[in-house]
Amino acid sequence: MREQEDDRLYSDPRLVDFYDLENGWGQDTRYCAELARTAGSVLDFGCGTGLFLAGIADGRPMVGVDPASAMLEVARHRTNGEQVRWVEGDIRSIRLGERFDLVTMTGHAFQCLLTDADVKAALATIAAHLTPSGQFIFDSRNPARREWEGWTPEASRRTVAHPDYGKVESWNDVAVDEETGVVCYETAYRLASGETLSSRSSIRFIDQAHLAGLIARAGLVIDVWLGDWIGAPFEPGCKEIIPLGRLA
């Protein structure tokens, strides 16, 4: 996605250094790792720094796709990173000419798709890379929870322990377009030297009913809607919107 590729949070090596400190192995990657146990091949879109695939690499065919070269550079140098094929590409248009038993997209990377046209293109790509019995899964924050309201400087201020910079003060700031569901937020890190590293990102919040319609029109079927990465079923007030499905 061009927007993500241009976002310094993903393209500036110094900001990429902070990414895993705040986005490490979690419930999403653990859930997907369990799904992957019985998959003969795995494709991960928005793979970022490769934490997930490198963590489960065991010789099976695995491909990680991301538009940010700085993120992929980290992925290639991970332990077991050499067992994964890392591809720089855009989910809206990439075609690998292969099909996979499991297609994943975690870390809310799906929300970097800012329009219905982007979502339709991404879903077509997912469909094009699934085996007849393959599964796909991704996550999106539920707009009903209005999580962005906690992304103000006052509410988000925190300290991040960096191995080179030490304790770093960090915060977010946010602006919301209620009509489109697009949220623009700033991520900032103030180093001990006084220098501030910052980036601006845009993501979209999409409701479950609208997403369900787009998925159905893409020739995909949802077997279960999850409301979190522990496995609870989706309900209107859930934090997450997580479709787990397959080809129609």
Alpha carbons within 13 A on the beta-carbon side of 107: 19
> pLDDT tens, position by position, for the chain (248 residues)?
444 445 776 768 788 888 888 888 899 999 999 999 999 999 999 999 999 999 999 999 999 999 999 999 999 999 999 999 999 999 999 999 999 999 999 999 999 999 999 999 999 999 999 999 999 999 999 999 999 999 999 999 999 999 999 999 999 999 999 999 999 999 999 999 999 999 999 999 999 999 999 999 999 999 999 999 999 999 999 999 999 999 99
Instruction: Give the pLDDT confidence score for residue 6 in this predicted structure.
Output: 59
Tokens found for residue 128: 């094009």
CA-to-CA separations, 93 to 101, 121, 154, 214, 246, in angstroms, rounded? 20, 7, 39, 17, 20
The pTM for the full model equals: 0.93
CA distance 52 to 202: 23
Q: Are 75 and 47 in contact (CB under 8 A)?
A: yes
Q: Which CATH class is domain 2-143+205-247?
A: alpha beta
CA distance 101 to 37: 11
CA distance 95 to 247: 17
Q: DSSP string spanning 8-42?
A: HHHH-HHHHHHHHHHS-S-HHHHHHHHHHTT-S-E
